Amino acid sequence: MRDSWPPGSMPARSQLQCKFTSNPSEGPMLNHVMVGSNDIERSKRFYDAVLGVLGAGEPMLHKAPTGHTRYFYRHDGSTFGITEPINDEQATAANGGTIGFKCSSPEQVRAFHEAGLANGGSTCEDPPGERDGSLGRMFVAYVRDPDGNKLCAIHRMK
């Protein structure tokens, strides 16, 4: 539920406090994430490798009514998809967008990164390692998929 303020009386952004709440019975916030690909089979090889590190199995193949190929990976209640753009335009990566994948350990973060590089991905940002962020200490690695989508493998440190 959202707080509301009379017109012109909303506090400055710096005065607002973010409240993170969690209700495990609600499950994941997102239903799915899907990225476009200009070479669907190349992307499938890449995502088979990096998502396999996280425990995702073989993806479900779906042929859209338009004839376009899509693959859907299911894992722990979440779905990640890759698709040929159904408008027949070139797939492009989001400028400023990042897709984050939860990892159970720093070793799994490293394995995700290594699998990405070994399967057509490219590294971006700093090498895998520990970082301090506004939400605490984490171990992260960034990689771009073959179509340029920026992925983050992240393990929240305790």
Report the pLDDT averaged over residues 128-142: 91
pLDDT over 90 percentage in the chain: 66
Answer whether residue 135 shows pLDDT above 70: yes
Structure confidence at residue 3 (pLDDT): 45
Task: In whole angstroms, give the CA distance from residue 8 to residue 26.
Answer: 35
Query: Closest Cα partner for 70 from 33, 120, 116?
Result: 33
Answer whether residue 30 shows pLDDT above 80: no
Decide if 72 contacts 81 (C-beta within 8 A). Answer: yes
Answer whether residue 50 shows pLDDT above 90: yes
Structure confidence at residue 133 (pLDDT): 79
Report the pLDDT averaged over residues 68-79: 93
Instruction: Name the token pair of 1.
Output: 């539920």
DSSP 6-71: -TT-PPPGGG--------GGG--S-SEEEEE-SSHHHHHHHHHHHHHHTT--PPEEEE-TTS-EEE
Choices 3.30.450.40, 3.40.50.10490, 3.10.180.10, 3.90.170.10: CATH for 30-85+93-156: 3.10.180.10
Answer whether residue 8 shows pLDDT above 70: no
Higher per-residue confidence, 10 vs 83: 83
Q: How confident is the model over 78-127, as pLDDT tens digits?
A: 899 999 998 999 999 987 889 999 999 999 999 999 999 999 999 988 89
